[in-house]
Chain A
Amino acid sequence: MADVRLVGLTKFFGKVRAVEDINLYVRDGEFMTLLGPSGCGKTTTLRCIAGLEVPTRGEIYIGGQLVNDLPPKDRNVAMVFQNWALYPHMTVYDNIAFPLKIRRFPREEIRRKVLEVARMLKIEDLLDRKPSELSGGQQQRVALGRALVREPSVFLLDEPLSNLDAKLRVYMRAELKALQRRLGVTTIYVTHDQVEAMTMSDRIAVMNEGRIQQVGRPEEIYERPANVFVAGFIGSPPMNFIEGSLVEEEGRLLLDTGYFRFDLSYLAEVVKEKATESELVLGVRPEHIRLVKEPVKDAVEASVYVLEPLGREVIVNLKVGDVIFKAREEAGFRAEPGERLWMVFDKEKVHLFDKRTGKAIV
């Protein structure tokens, strides 16, 4: 087992910046997820750790050892690719045994290790089959088996669940997490699916445009996003945003959005200390909006746009001027399109961001 440290990792493909100045520490035995939209550099980062890409700048340490000049086979990492990359001309047994055969393990030991891994992953009945004869879930387990059989220091997984159907994905998420807990292998997982990231990770590194936006535990990322991007990326439905300007009126600090004014007096001290300018973005999550049918103090008037019933809850889309807000209500909530409602924001859960930099103020 080993920790992984990235120091100033930068990778350019020609003039295209894939990742820049990535600094990340993954503890020994930790499940770290690199989360972000397509093209944000998470796979490039993973490939640099694996040794499949040569960094333009920066250093990669695995178990305290600088590995920049080491080929992939000498880094003691194992990788599961998005499409699993099983060798189609080999049986399941030979696929799993391949890393051991290459390292000239004795035949008996290869057999013992392959059977052990196959039993753990419940694929011992599939050893004589070829990958084309397996289902998606079975292929994925074979790919995991091939990675596990080597007892690597670091496990690298590049969106391994993305080619599975939704039901199987949910099942395999739990299986993967349980497996990682049991084995205690340092794991770096790449995904664009925030549900996978939130449910499986010890910590998440949210990436965008080649840079790390925030690193933290899932609940930290969710409750205290570092900037607008993280706030908007995490959470489904995503956080509601509206821009506004700070105004002072009769001793009160207000955020004037053009459609309503939100009283920020209770945050005046923090805002005055941290806000570098008066243009801010107000963010509030759908579950932190309570809908009432009568106007109350600090409520924001809105009209119902559309309802999205999800079975256990209803997502209510509301229009405030040209801005759409989404609120979560319990199943059974009823409202007609065009109906007037009032939104009450949970003041303790409201977020404020600097409009220019996107960074969180509160």
Chain B
Amino acid sequence: MRFTKASVLKALLTLGAWVLALLWISPFLGIIMVSVRPVREVLHGWWVLRPFTFTWENFVNAWTGQLGTYPLYVGIRNSLIIATFSTILPLTVGALAAYAFARFSFPIKNLLFLTITLLMAMPPQVVAIPLFLLMSRLRLVNTYLGLVLVHSAWGTPWIILFLRNYFMTLPKELEEAARIDGASDFEVFCDIVLPLCKPALLSIVALQFTWVWNDFFFALILMMHPEKYVATQCLAFMKGEYHVPWGLISAGSVITMAFPIMLFFLLQKYYVRGMVGWLVRG
């Protein structure tokens, strides 16, 4: 085998990539290792592999809460409900608004779009207190509806921006042809535009669902009743006052992570194809 400059360079780059990949994956590896082993085995570091006892105990305890923590199945259920509706609602509203911005003319359109875009820059912490007061007055604190509305309001602007730009890449002739064929504006939107936007819509589903699923801040200020805690809250409250149950928290984290990861894998082929196609078209 000849060691040319190019092959040595390639080998070094590959080695570097492997090192980076291992560094990147090591926290996840650590969490998984701690979640499937009894805590006594990992006290000196998860990378100590002897002795190695495989156990589901941490998962069972995290899920059921039988060690006195808030049961994770409650948090998962609540997160599923909130993330699902907090994805469907802004997607529906945002898609309709984005189409209007992309294809119709109306007064102050540009000013409105600019306002929506600029307000996206506002961090949620800035509005925490007024938001709580508003939700409190509307009696929406500790309710699914309240948190869904907040996440929907927060998600709609970026969905409008994303989809409006995507709609503008679609050839207008398709919509014109549909209008001549007899379709109303709404039928054009539903029968022609939306099916062509499947990659973009599924990308939004993946991203919005994950962001809502991972949210801790809004849930912390709006959900106080343990029955309404989301998964991230359940995880945070697993930490005890005098002791940190690493195994429990790790198992809880693995369970919580699994849902958005599964969603990304399920939708991967659509949004990767969509992103590549969008780049090529752009």
Interaction A to B: yes
Interface residues of B in 173-189 (CB under 8 A from A): 173-174, 176-184, 187
A262 close to chain B: CB less than 8 A: no
In residues 38-91 of chain A, which contact B (Cβ within 8 Å)?
50-52, 71-73, 77-79, 81, 83, 85, 87-89
Check B123 for interface membership: any CB of A closer than 8 A.
Answer: no
Contacts of A51 in B (CB 8 A): 179-180
Q: Confirm or deny: A146 has a beta carbon within 8 angstroms of a beta carbon on chain B.
A: yes
Closest to A158 in B: B173
**A52 to chain B: which residues have CB within 8 Å?**
176, 179-180
B171 is an interface residue with CB less than 8 A from chain A: yes
The stretch from A95-103, A271-279, A280-288, A308-316 touching chain B is A95-103
Say which residue of A79, A87, A88, A89 sits within 8 Å of B180 (CB atoms): A79
Question: Which residue of B has the minimal Cβ distance to A71?
Answer: B179
A99 and B181 within 8 A (CB): yes
Q: In the complex, A81 Cα to B195 Cα: how many Å?
A: 21
Alpha-carbon separation in the docked complex, A85 to B178 (Å): 9
Q: How many residues of B contact A (CB 8 A)?
A: 17
User: 1/0 contact trace for B183-226 toward A, CB 8 Å?
Assistant: 11001000110011000000000000000000000000000000
Determine the residue in chain B with the shortest Cβ distance to A83.
B173
Complex interface: chain A residues within 8 A of B184 (CB): 73
Structural contact, B182 and A102, CB atoms closer than 8 A? yes
- Chain B residues near A81 (CB-CB < 8 A): 173, 176-177
The one of B171, B187, B195, B196 in contact with A102, judged by C-beta atoms closer than 8 angstroms, is B187
Chain A residues lying within 8 Å of B183, measured Cβ to Cβ, are 73, 102
B174→A77 contact, CB < 8 A = no
Of A77, A78, A79, A89, the residue contacting B195 (CB under 8 A) is A89
Give, as a whole number of angstroms, the nearest-CB distance from A10 to chain B. Answer: 20
Question: Tally of A-B residue pairs with Cβ under 8 A?
Answer: 57
**Distance in angstroms between the alpha carbons of A101 and B29 in the assembled complex:** 55
A72 & B192 in contact (Cβ 8 Å cutoff): no
B195 lies within 8 A of A98 (CB): no
Contacts of B174 in A (CB 8 A): 85, 87-88
- Tell me, rounded to whole Å, the shortest Cβ–Cβ distance linking B173 to chain A: 4
Known contacts A87-B192, A88-B196; A73/B179 CB under 8 A? yes
Most buried by A among B173, B174, B181: B181
CA distance A83 to B177 in the complex (A): 11
Does A355 have its Cβ within 8 Å of any Cβ on chain B? no
Q: Whole-angstrom distance between the alpha carbons of A98 and B192 in the complex?
A: 10
Q: Is A141 an interface residue (CB 8 A)?
A: no
Within 8 A of A (CB), among B147-195: 171, 173-174, 176-184, 187, 191-192, 195
Could you tell me the distance between the alpha carbons of A98 and B178 in the complex, rounded to whole angstroms? Answer: 8
B69-125 contacts to A (CB < 8 Å): none
Complex Cα distance, B180 from A150, in Å, reads: 11
The residue that B181 contacts in the complex, of A83, A89, A150, with Cβ under 8 A, is A150
Residues of A near B176 (CB, < 8 A) are: 50, 52, 72, 79, 81, 85
Q: Known A88-B196, A89-B195, A89-B196; judge A77-B180 contact (CB<8 A).
A: yes
Mask of A183-212 contacts with B, CB within 8 angstroms, 1/0: 000000000000000000000000000000
Chain A residues with CB below 8 A from B182, complex form = 73, 99, 102-103, 150
Residues of chain B lying within 8 A (CB to CB) of residue A79? 176-177, 180
Q: Provide the bound-state CA to CA distance between A87 and B196, in Å.
A: 9
Q: Are B181 and A102 in contact (CB under 8 A)?
A: yes
Minimum CB–CB distance for A110 against chain B, Å: 13
Given the known inter-chain contacts A89-B195, A89-B196, A102-B187, please indicate yes or no for A73 contacting B173, CB distance below 8 A. Answer: no
Q: How far is the CA of A98 from the CA of B195 in the complex (A)?
A: 14
Are A98 and B196 in touch, CB under 8 angstroms? no
User: With a CB–CB cut-off of 8 A, which chain B residues contact A78?
Assistant: 180-181
Inter-chain contact A72/B179, CB cutoff 8 Å: yes
A102 to B178, CA, bound (A): 9
Least CB separation from A79: chain B residue: B180
CB-CB < 8 A to A99: which residues of B? 181-182
- Provide the bound-state CA to CA distance between A49 and B177, in Å: 14
- Asked if A146 contacts B179 (CB within 8 A), the reply is no
For the complex, give the distance between the alpha carbons of A50 and B181 in Å. Answer: 11
Note all chain A residues with C-beta closer than 8 A to B187. Answer: 102
A98 near B180 with CB under 8 A, answer no
A102-B180 Cα distance, complex, nearest whole Å: 11
Of B174, B180, B183, B192, most buried by chain A (CB within 10 Å of CB) is B180
Contact B180 A50 (CB under 8 A): yes
Query: Chain B contacts of A89 at CB under 8 A?
Result: 195-196
Query: What residues on A are CB-neighbors of B196 within 8 Å?
Result: 88-89
22 contacts between A and B (CB under 8 A): A51-B180, A52-B179, A52-B180, A71-B179, A72-B176, A72-B179, A73-B180, A73-B183, A79-B176, A81-B177, A83-B171, A85-B173, A85-B174, A85-B176, A85-B177, A89-B196, A98-B178, A102-B178, A102-B181, A102-B183, A102-B187, A150-B182
User: Known pairs A79-B177, A150-B182. 5 more at Cβ < 8 A?
Assistant: A78-B181, A79-B176, A85-B173, A98-B181, A102-B187
Residues of B within 8 A of A (CB): 171, 173-174, 176-184, 187, 191-192, 195-196
Residues of A within 8 A of B (CB): 50-52, 71-73, 77-79, 81, 83, 85, 87-89, 98-99, 102-103, 146, 150
